[in-house]
């Protein structure tokens, strides 16, 4: 199974990290936004309660001053002392005036400085004339944030000038980063404090609007604030989210990689199990193809046994005792053992036993494979040239497995030249020693392999044959690699394909015979036939 390229895995990890970080920041930002909104509502509510309490205090002060004026003593000194105490402890109250309504309206008492003119008596008298005794209303709203609170007395009126800008002082924090607006009954703005930042496109504004529950001073309080993005997503929180998101993404990628590795291992194990079953099935199927070769090979020793037996019978009849009979019987025993060995290899080949490596002469193994394939090659008029190494090549392999791999390579080579003219239907098989390894080279003179297919020939289910399954060469590779070898393919010089099987050399023997170099024509006798 091909692994995912590193660049794609890295890109997927970065995208997963970004997505995770965005989700985490959305969740964290939402929590922070809700928290800021809760704080704003709590602080705005506290500001509203403070203003409501102070508005009630104004009514209480007017009631106290009215009680002094209604007392029999009607002491101006007491009135001044109380008024100055109120101004001293309540800085938001700017001045207190008393207007007489007996005859022409005039100001009979004021706490203002000499250079500061009191409110016009006529205007106060006009407003007070429409009130019931004891009733108080906002009479006027000054342009600098002040408003007059007028309370009607039996024979006059008390005017209390209040600085609306100081009603919310000290700041409770609700509009420390926003804006507070206090409006009068007519909707005219009395006081404004704080500055409102420009609203962002991502975050909604916080707005608190509520009327002060007072008969004399029905003011409207409005507090608004635009939360900044840095408040909802602080830098430290963003860094922590990015770090934790990267850590979670890394752990997730490691877990996915381990899971993918385990899945690939299970898939490889399943594939290898299927390969083992397929190898056994292919061996059984190949028996049919090898039947003619086996019959040809068995016919030779059995025919020789018959001939030698007949000759021995004649000698026995002609002479009572002859030493030649010993040689005849020895030949019969040798040839019978050979026939038994052939049958034993056949039984091992079609069995499904676990391969057991054993020291094997590679030259003899290759010779045996060529002989087994001889009948099929003769039928297809394919010539084969066999060249064996001068050096004995000992390898530690399972004979049946390597025979199967080489038989598949020979069959593929024969398929490659089958459609050529008879004169060009030639194969070459060679064994040699190279860099301490034993090599079997199988070459054909067919059309060869396209360069774009060279690297894919050993992929499972890839084939260049119209009726192929794409499992023969991968199986050959598995069989050879199971004994420490390897299979490769290249373009042969002069055209065709060259398959090379390299196996580790078990031991190296000194050359004790000359190179066996022979060419097998479709009807040429084999080495066994020479015996």
pLDDT tens by residue, the chain, 531 residues: 444 566 777 787 788 888 888 888 888 888 888 998 999 999 999 999 999 999 999 999 999 998 888 887 777 888 889 999 999 999 889 889 898 887 788 888 888 886 666 777 788 888 888 888 888 888 765 666 788 889 998 888 899 988 888 887 654 444 456 788 888 888 888 888 777 666 555 788 889 999 998 888 889 999 998 888 888 888 888 888 888 878 888 888 888 888 888 888 888 888 877 777 777 666 666 665 565 556 556 666 766 676 777 676 666 666 655 556 666 666 666 666 666 665 565 565 555 566 678 899 999 999 988 887 887 888 888 888 899 988 888 999 888 788 888 988 888 888 888 888 888 888 999 999 888 789 999 998 888 887 777 777 777 776 767 566 667 788 788 888 888 898 888 888 878 888 999 999 886 544 443 344 444 434 333 333 323
For residues 70, 73, 77 and 79, what is the CA-based torsion angle, rounded to 10 degrees? -10
Distance CA 73, CA 76 (A): 9
Q: Which DSSP category does 464 fall into?
A: S
> In the chain, where does the domain assigned CATH 3.30.565.10 lie?
355-531
Instruction: Decide: 415 and 465 in contact? Cβ < 8 Å.
Output: yes
pTM: 0.48
Domain 355-531 of CATH type 3.40.109.10: no
Instruction: Decide: 96 and 85 in contact? Cβ < 8 Å.
Output: no
* Domain range 6-230, CATH class: alpha beta
Residue 86: name the closest of 120, 111, 52, 67 by CA. Answer: 111
Strand-pairing partners, residue 393, are 508
Task: Give Cα separations from 184 to 108, 124, 157, 165, 208 (angstroms).
Answer: 28, 18, 21, 12, 17
309 Cβ partners below 8 Å, 6+ apart? 328, 332
Q: Which two tokens stand for residue 453?
A: 């297919």
Residue 470: name the closest of 290, 275, 280, 289 by CA. Answer: 275
Residue 11, number of CB atoms within 10 A of its CB: 11
> In the chain, where does the domain assigned CATH 3.30.450 lie?
6-230
């Amino acid at each position: 199974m091909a692994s995912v390229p590193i660049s794609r895995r890295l890109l997927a990890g970065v995208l997963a990290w970004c997505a995770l970080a965005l989700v985490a920041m959305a969740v964290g930002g939402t929590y922070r936004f809700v928290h800021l909104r809760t704080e704003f509502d709590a602080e705005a509510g506290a500001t509203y309660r403070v203003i409501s309490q102070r508005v009630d205090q104004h009514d209480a002060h007017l009631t106290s001053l009215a009680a002094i004026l209604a007392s029999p003593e009607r002491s101006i000194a007491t009135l001044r002392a109380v008024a100055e105490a109120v101004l001293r402890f309540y800085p938001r109250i700017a001045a207190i005036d008393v207007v007489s309504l007996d005859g022409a309206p005039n100001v009979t008492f004021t706490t203002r400085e000499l250079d500061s003119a009191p409110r016009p008596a006529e205007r106060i008298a006009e407003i007070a004339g429409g009130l019931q005794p004891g009733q108080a209303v906002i009479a006027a709203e000054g342009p600098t944030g002040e408003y007059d609170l007028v309370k009607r007395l039996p024979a006059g009126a008390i005017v209390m000038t209040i600085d609306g800008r100081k009603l919310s002082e000290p700041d409770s924090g609700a509009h420390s980063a926003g804006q507070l607006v206090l409006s009068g009954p007519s909707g005219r703005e009395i006081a404004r404090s704080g500055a409102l930042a420009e609203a962002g496109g991502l975050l909604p504004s916080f707005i608190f609007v509520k009327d002060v529950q007072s008969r004399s001073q029905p003011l409207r309080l409005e507090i608004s604030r635009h939360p900044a993005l840095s408040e909802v997503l602080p830098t430290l929180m963003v860094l922590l989210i990015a770090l934790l998101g990267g850590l979670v993404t890394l752990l997730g990628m490691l877990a996915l990689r381990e899971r993918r590795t385990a899945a690939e291992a299970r898939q490889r194990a399943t594939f290898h199990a299927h390969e083992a079953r397929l190898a056994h099935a292919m061996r059984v199927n190949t028996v049919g193809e090898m039947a003619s070769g086996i019959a040809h090979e068995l016919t030779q020793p059995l025919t020789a046994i018959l001939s030698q037996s007949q000759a021995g019978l004649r000698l026995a009849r002609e002479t009572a005792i002859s030493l030649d009979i010993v040689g005849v019987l020895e030949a019969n025993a040798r040839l019978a053992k050979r026939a038994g060995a052939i049958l034993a290899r056949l039984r091992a080949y079609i069995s499904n036993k676990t391969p057991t490596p054993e020291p094997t002469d590679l030259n003899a193994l290759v010779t045996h494979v060529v002989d087994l394939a001889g009948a099929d090659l003769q039928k297809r008029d394919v010539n084969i040239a066999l060249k064996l190494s001068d050096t004995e090549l000992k390898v530690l392999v399972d004979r049946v497995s390597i025979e199967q791999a080489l038989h598949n390579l020979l069959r593929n080579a024969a398929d490659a030249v089958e459609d050529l003219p008879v004169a060009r239907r030639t194969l070459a098989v060679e064994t040699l020693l190279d860099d301490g390894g034993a090599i079997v080279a199988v070459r054909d003179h067919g059309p060869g392999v396209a360069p774009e297919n060279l690297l894919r020939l050993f992929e499972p289910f890839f084939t260049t044959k119209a009726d192929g399954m794409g499992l023969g060469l991968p199986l050959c590779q598995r069989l050879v690699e199971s004994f420490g070898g390897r299979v490769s393919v290249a373009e042969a010089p002069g055209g065709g394909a060259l398959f090379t099987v390299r196996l580790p050399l078990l031991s190296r023997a000194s050359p004790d015979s000359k190179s066996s170099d022979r060419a097998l024509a479709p009807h040429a006798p084999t080495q066994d036939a020479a015996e």
